[in-house]
Structure 1
Amino acid sequence: MTETVVHVTTIEQWKSVLDVWFAQMKQDKTWKIDFYGEGEHWSSENLTLEQAKRRADNCPAEYWCSIVPMEQYMDY
């Protein structure tokens, strides 16, 4: 994956950037969502992209979240 810098000034622009990014990602991956706020952090793992997006949509206003693809680990 290449690195891209994007400057956004509104939440609508940010949502648009995320929509493009998600569309470029393969839908068969599993995803992780991290929540941060009020000195706390928690995660939900092994979600479909739709599940992760629904959880992000329901994120409390005092928290922020990030959705990332789960890493593929190989057991040797």
Structure 2
Amino acid sequence: MNAVKDHEGIHGRKLSNRRANIILDVLRQVLDRAVLRGWLTRNPARAVSKLREDRAPIDPFSFDEVKTLL
């Protein structure tokens, strides 16, 4: 999976873990369909673990910011 993650996208930047996981999901779906049609005996993408996705830190509004919005 790191080979996918380290690949540079069309804009010359490395893929995020989230984007690499999305690509893996699509690949799994395509290969699952190939298994259902009998083109493959098993889906090799099922053996690949997803990458950890770091969540963006949450920065909630302060009390004063909420008062300003209301």
Q: What is the TM-score normalised by the length of structure 1?
A: 0.30
* Structure with the higher fraction of residues in helix conformation: 2
Name the larger-Rg structure: 2
Q: What is the TM-score normalised by the length of structure 2?
A: 0.32
* Structure with the higher fraction of residues in strand conformation: 1
